A = this chain, B = another copy of it.
Amino acid sequence: MASLTAGNRRPVRLADIAKAAGVSHGTASNVFSRPEIVREEVRERVKAAAEAMGYGGPDPKGRLLRAGKVNAIGVATAEPLSYFFDDPFARVMMASISQACDATGAGISLVSAANNEQLAWNIQSALVDGFIVFCVEGGSRLVELARERKLPFVALDLDSEDGAVAAIGVDNIAGASLAARHLTDLGHRRFAVLALPFADGRTGLVSPEQVRSATYAGTRDRLTGYLQELSRVGVDTSKVPVYETANDAASAKAGLETIFAAKEPPTAILAMSDKIALVTLEWLSARKLNVPNDVSIVGFDGVPESAVSEPSLTTIAQPIAEMGRLAVKAILENDGKVSRQLLPVELIVRASSAPPRG
């Protein structure tokens, strides 16, 4: 028993086995990276030495520095890491990103952090060739950080109009408009909107001024789309309650309480995410309100869950898979040019919408 696992440290480098095998490190390196160009006898000798010394193959750390390319993309969010595995939208997006990565042989690094300084450090020290940034709350800070790394990056669903950042998003105005149009076509005239955040850390009914000063352009655009269509058919949009949620169950339910406390509750609800819409479905069913007969709902996103809910959800589907693919492509084939892409959305009519009663 000389020293199999004995020598505690593992300072066995390529140079060590080169010396042991009596070849130069150049040759030793070739044995691993281009075995076909070294004579068989030598190759075997080096491999034997490597085996004997417990060498685990060329250390990627060294290779990396030389090669420059990490061959991995970082996916960043300001949410906790588990967001990637919990949130329905994130999951679908990640699934499509990972498919695109699989196809090109790139790896994925998840970047996130519990607190803010940690986040900065994690972004600064992430070993990646570029970032895909999930823009939810706190997205702008994230974009800032990513930009500072001076690596290619694209923002998903960016809530900013800064033309200097590459972003892939959907046409929120058109999508929202489509949703509202579907409901007005069915004959609805009494609406309520369950919105995504307009600004950080706030929930509740929003005033027009708050909308105008919204931090998140995406949210504002969706509202614009909704209201445009509603006013087109003569609805007094100033009377339509718009409740800002944090895109979670608690705030959505609080919003519903508020909305349905009104004397003339809405017959149709425009939800800015499927997540909110699904919570709404649940809440209404607990209240013994029938969907779609008492209340119609249209969601936004088109996550898989929306197809199997009870009832299934009418929604505006984003081309999530396509967005993921484009994002990966943008990073990997980055040629320095900044581009913004606005993808089309699609109305998917399912069982949660119908003409109003009477």
* Interface size counted on chain A using CB atoms at 8 A: 54
Report if A351 contacts B (CB, 8 A): no
Cα A150 to Cα B80 in complex, Å, equals 30
Name A's B-contacting residues (CB within 8 A).
Answer: 5, 8, 10, 54-57, 60-65, 68, 70-72, 80-82, 84-86, 91-92, 94-96, 98-99, 101-103, 105, 107-114, 118, 121-122, 124-127, 148-151, 336
Distance in angstroms from A166 CB to nearest chain B CB is: 12
When distances are taken between beta carbons in the complex, the residues of chain B under 8 Å from A84 are: 85, 94, 98
Sample of 9 further A-B pairs with CB below 8 A, known A85-B91, A98-B112: A56-B149, A64-B64, A70-B127, A81-B98, A86-B91, A98-B110, A105-B122, A107-B111, A127-B127
Contact (Cβ within 8 A) B150 A10: yes
| Residue of chain B at shortest CB distance from A124 | B57
Whether A60 contacts B110 in the complex (CB less than 8 A), given A81-B98, A85-B94, comes out as no
Whether A98 contacts B125 in the complex (CB less than 8 A), given A56-B150, A56-B151, comes out as no
Cα A86 to Cα B84 in complex, Å, equals 11
Contact (Cβ within 8 A) B94 A127: no
When distances are taken between beta carbons in the complex, the residues of chain B under 8 Å from A60 are: 124-127
Copies per complex of this chain: 2
When distances are taken between beta carbons in the complex, the residues of chain B under 8 Å from A112 are: 98, 102
Cα A121 to Cα B127 in complex, Å, equals 17
Distance in angstroms from A320 CB to nearest chain B CB is: 12
Cα A345 to Cα B68 in complex, Å, equals 46
Cα A250 to Cα B63 in complex, Å, equals 43
Contact (Cβ within 8 A) A102 B81: yes
Which residue of A60, A111, A151 has the most chain B CB atoms within 10 A of its CB atom?
A60
| Residue of chain B at shortest CB distance from A147 | B56
When distances are taken between beta carbons in the complex, the residues of chain B under 8 Å from A80 are: 98-99, 102
Cα A8 to Cα B57 in complex, Å, equals 34
Contact (Cβ within 8 A) A127 B61: yes
Please list 27 pairs of residues, one from A and one from B, whose beta carbons are closer than 8 Å in the complex, sorted by A's number: A8-B336, A10-B150, A54-B150, A56-B150, A60-B124, A60-B127, A61-B65, A61-B68, A64-B64, A65-B65, A71-B125, A72-B109, A72-B127, A80-B99, A81-B99, A81-B108, A82-B94, A82-B96, A85-B94, A86-B95, A91-B91, A103-B114, A105-B114, A107-B110, A107-B122, A109-B109, A110-B110
Distance in angstroms from A114 CB to nearest chain B CB is: 5
Distance in angstroms from A330 CB to nearest chain B CB is: 16
Cα A94 to Cα B84 in complex, Å, equals 9
Contact (Cβ within 8 A) B82 A99: yes
When distances are taken between beta carbons in the complex, the residues of chain B under 8 Å from A114 are: 102-103, 105
When distances are taken between beta carbons in the complex, the residues of chain B under 8 Å from A82 are: 94-96, 98-99, 102
When distances are taken between beta carbons in the complex, the residues of chain B under 8 Å from A68 are: 61
| Residue of chain B at shortest CB distance from A105 | B118
Contact (Cβ within 8 A) B108 A109: yes
Cα A64 to Cα B66 in complex, Å, equals 12
